[in-house]
Amino acid sequence: MENIEKRRRIEAESSLTELQVEYTNLVIQHELVKKALNNAERLLNEEDSEEFFSDLSYSDSEGASTQYERLRADYHRLQSEYDELQDAFQRYREDTEQDFALEQDQKERIEKLEEDLLCTKNLIKNFARDFMNFKIDAKMRNFTKKNLEKSPKI
């Protein structure tokens, strides 16, 4: 029973660690894309961005615009992956906490049942002892009664 609990706990901790690593990597990717997107937006919003794009040939400005759109799409994709992973991580944490609470509840129930079993065992022992004493007392009374009947009367 303890080995199963230990194995479950190790598996849960391992899964949690994997999720945390994946979550951290996704957060890092998210931040990098966010920075690149912010830089691209800042570049597009700057006053001299028109000069920058006018200095570029049409194909260069088209490439920058395409790269900006690609960064924006990556940002939204990573944002949705980040949200999904965060939701999965939260669900996993809740499930793990719920499993732990169920384990604790089961342990408490087992302990209570063991206490009840011990009390019942003691009650049975006491009853058996009292019953034996009663039988002994009854035999002694019968023995005494028979002896009194057999003895000569004064």
Domain ranges of the chain: 2-150
Q: What is the pLDDT of residue 16?
A: 76
Half-sphere exposure of 122 (CA within 13 A, CB side): 6
Q: What is the pLDDT of residue 142?
A: 79
Per-residue pLDDT of the chain (154 residues; tens, 9 = 90+): 678 878 877 887 787 788 778 878 877 887 877 777 777 777 666 655 555 555 545 455 566 667 777 777 877 888 788 888 888 888 888 888 888 888 888 889 989 999 999 999 999 999 989 888 888 888 888 777 777 777 666 5
Q: What is the pLDDT of residue 115?
A: 92
DSSP conformation class of 1:
-
Residue 152 in 3-state DSSP? coil
Tell me which residue has tokens 């944490």. 93
Sign of CA dihedral 120, 124, 130, 134: positive
Q: Which two tokens stand for residue 151?
A: 């003895």
Half-sphere exposure of 98 (CA within 13 A, CB side): 6
Q: What is the pLDDT of residue 62?
A: 61
Q: What is the pLDDT of residue 51?
A: 53
Regarding pTM above 0.75, the answer is no
**CA dist 91 to 24, 41, 94, 95, 146, Å?**
17, 35, 5, 6, 80
Q: What is the pLDDT of residue 95?
A: 82
Q: What is the pLDDT of residue 50?
A: 52
**CA dist 152 to 26, 86, 139, 141, 147, Å?**
106, 99, 21, 18, 10
